[in-house]
Chain A
Amino acid sequence: MSLIFTLASRNLCHDRVRFIATVVGIVFSIVLVTVQAGLYLGFGRTVTTMIDHADADLWIMPVGTKSFEDSAQLDARKRFQALAINGVAEAAPVVIGYAEWRVPTGGSTPVFIVGSDLRAGGLPPWNLAEGSVDDLSIPNAIAVDRSYFDRLSVKGIGDQAEIRGQKVEVAAVTNGIRAFTTTPYVFTSLDRARAFTGMPTNKVTYLLARVTPGSDVESVRARIKANLSNVEVLTSEEFRTRSRAFWLFDTGAGAALLAGALLGIIVGTVIVAQTLYSSTKDHLNEFATLRAIGSSATYIHKVIISQALLSAVIGFGIAAAVGLIIVQATAGSALPIVMTPTLSLGLFALTVVMCVVSAIAAIVKVTRIDPAMVFTR
Chain B
Amino acid sequence: MSDPVIEAVDVVRFLGDGAGQVQALKGVSLAVASGELTLLMGPSGSGKTTLLSVLGCMLTPNSGQVRVGGCSTAGAGAEDLAKLRREHIGFIFQSYHLFPTLTATDNVRLALDVRGESAAQAIAKSKEALAKVGLAHKISKFPRELSGGEQQRVAIARAIVGNASTILADEPTAALDSENGHAIMELLSEIAKDRSRGVLVVTHDPRIVSFADRVVRIEDGLIVGEERPKEQLEEIETAPLRALELARIA
Binding site for B on A (CB under 8 A): 1-4, 6-7, 10-11, 13-14, 285-286, 289-297, 299, 370-372, 374-377
Contacts and interface: CB of A to CB of B under 8 A. Distances in A.
Interface in B65-91: 78-79, 82-87, 89-91
Contact of A292 (B85, B94, B99, B101): B85
A296 B102 CA distance: 20
A295 B86 contact: yes
Given A293-B91, A294-B85, A374 B102 contact: no
Nearest to A14: B101
Given A294-B83, A295-B82, A375-B49, 11 more contacts: A2-B119, A7-B101, A10-B101, A292-B58, A292-B97, A293-B111, A294-B87, A294-B111, A294-B114, A296-B82, A372-B59
Contacts of A4: 113
Given A6-B102, A375-B49, A289 B97 contact: yes
B157 to A, nearest CB: 12
Contacts of B95: 377
A3 B86 contact: no
Contacts of B59: 372
B41 to A, nearest CB: 16
Contacts of A13: 101
A291 B111 CA distance: 10
Contacts of A285: 97
Interface residues of B, number: 35
Contact of A3 (B85, B97, B110): B110
A370 B58 CA distance: 8
Contacts of A14: 100-101
A196 to B, nearest CB: 73
A286 B78 CA distance: 18
Given A2-B119, A290-B110, A375-B52, A7 B83 contact: no
A293 B110 CA distance: 9
A294 B93 contact: no
Q: Which of B56, B79, B99 has the most CB of A within 10 A?
A: B99
B115 interface: yes
A294 B97 contact: no
A62 to B, nearest CB: 69
A294 B101 contact: no
Majority secondary structure, A binding face: helix
Interface of B: 49, 52-53, 56, 58-59, 78-79, 82-87, 89-91, 93-95, 97, 99-102, 106, 109-111, 113-115, 119, 158, 170
19 contacts: A1-B119, A7-B99, A7-B101, A10-B99, A11-B101, A285-B97, A289-B99, A290-B110, A292-B85, A293-B86, A293-B158, A296-B79, A297-B79, A371-B85, A372-B53, A374-B91, A375-B49, A375-B58, A375-B94
Nearest to B170: A375
Contacts of B158: 293
Nearest to A377: B95
Contacts of A290: 110, 114
Nearest to A9: B101
Given A285-B97, A294-B82, A299-B114, A3 B89 contact: no
B89 to A, nearest CB: 7
Q: Which of B85, B101, B115 has the most CB of A within 10 A?
A: B101
Nearest to A1: B119
A363 B150 CA distance: 33
Contacts of A7: 99, 101-102
A285 B53 CA distance: 16
B80 to A, nearest CB: 10
B102 to A, nearest CB: 7
Q: Which of A6, A14, A292, A372 has the most CB of B within 10 A?
A: A292
Contacts of B49: 375-376
Given A7-B101, A11-B101, A289-B97, A296 B91 contact: no
A375 B97 CA distance: 10
A183 to B, nearest CB: 60
Contacts of B102: 3, 6-7, 10
